[in-house]
Amino acid sequence: MKAHQNKWITIFAVGLAVLLSGVVQADLRQGYFTDVKPVPGLDSPYQDRGPSISADGLTIYFCSGRDGGEGDWDIWMSTRRAVGASWGAPINPGPPINSPAWEASPHISADGLRLYFQSWRGGGYGQGDIYVAERASTSVPFVEVHNLGSGVNSPANEYTPSVSPDELTLYLSRGEGADGFDVYVATRSLTRAPFDSARRVANVNSSANDKYPSISSDGLTLFLDSHRLPNTGPSGYEELWVATRSSCCEHFSTPVNLNDFGLGSSVNGPTAVEFAPCISRDWPANGSKLYFAVGISESDSDLYEATWVVPCPYYVAGDLNDDCRVDFLDVASFAANWLIDCNTTPEDAACVPK
């Protein structure tokens, strides 16, 4: 067969596959976290931790011991013009979110209208309590702050809230008893109703500190940090762990180390402390993000991110770059291969007998 005939047959085949590619789309969950790196532009020489990313990926909240706030630790925020663009200089939203007391572990709701966080401002139920700040639209500042009440808060230390997209389920951590922090869950029937009494989440807690739950949007995967053993780093260092379930009616599984989750990853390192995970609202979409904190020293931690990659587990005719889609990238790849002159470069891997 003549070379130019092969070329047009190939382009026709790829084009046909493009038209048919919708047939082979599937729900993909198996993937891995990679491209672990600091979030640029948000660092300070002090503790920066507790990231929470808005659903549109354009605003990030975190807590920091840096100077320039209302006193003690505060919640800070940064925005960017588009996903992938640089983060702007962090700003302090001021009161009523921040106060002279300690504020930490912000968590922004899916609609961006409520910011859950921990504060030691007093007047609550004792030690740290979880509060929520509210606003009427995402274009105006938060104006009201409420204590979440006695279902969530207690004389013990409540910390690290994470809410479901409908805000009817709240995960948190509470430090009491011999087992250090444990992960709790509280539910309510209406967003304006108080939460029921928080209870320990079955299977996910250990005798070590277990905290910073981050619930996936579908409610089936719970990320957390834990001091439990065995871990990847030095004994007793915090690392990121993951618990899963197949439906929201079931208990979570016993957590697995994040490095053993999915197809495996290397988020937990052998020397650093990894903690405070926040899974993006679009996870497990290909390219979605996990934000977390990495301890640099006793007095310094920074915000990091990792990217979820989903290789295609199915054979898709014409999918040359293994992304489960057949599109112009595959056409370009095919065309590039075709243009290799096998008569002059027969050793090239792209050369096939014609």
Binding-site ranges for Ca ion (CB under 5 A): 44, 48, 70-72, 74, 98, 103, 125-127, 129, 153, 158, 179-180, 182, 205, 210, 300, 302
The two structure tokens encoding residue 152: 């969530």
Q: Which is nearer to Ca ion, 125 or 338 (CB)?
A: 125
- CB within 8 A of 337, min separation 6: which ones? 350
| In contact, 91 and 61? CB cutoff 8 Å | no
Least distance (Å) between residue 331 CB and Ca ion: 45
Q: Which is nearer to Ca ion, 217 or 257 (CB)?
A: 257
- CB within 8 A of 6, min separation 6: which ones? 338, 354
| In contact, 163 and 178? CB cutoff 8 Å | no
Q: Which is nearer to Ca ion, 149 or 219 (CB)?
A: 149
| In contact, 97 and 75? CB cutoff 8 Å | yes
Q: Which is nearer to Ca ion, 222 or 324 (CB)?
A: 222
Least distance (Å) between residue 286 CB and Ca ion: 30
Least distance (Å) between residue 158 CB and Ca ion: 5
Q: How far apart are CA 92 and CA 103, in angstroms?
A: 12
Q: What is the largest CA-CA distance in the chain?
A: 84
Q: With residue 331 as reference, give the H or E element that holds it.
A: helix 328-338
Least distance (Å) between residue 289 CB and Ca ion: 19
DSSP-assigned beta bridge partners for residue 215: 222
Q: Which is nearer to Ca ion, 118 or 232 (CB)?
A: 118
Least distance (Å) between residue 334 CB and Ca ion: 47
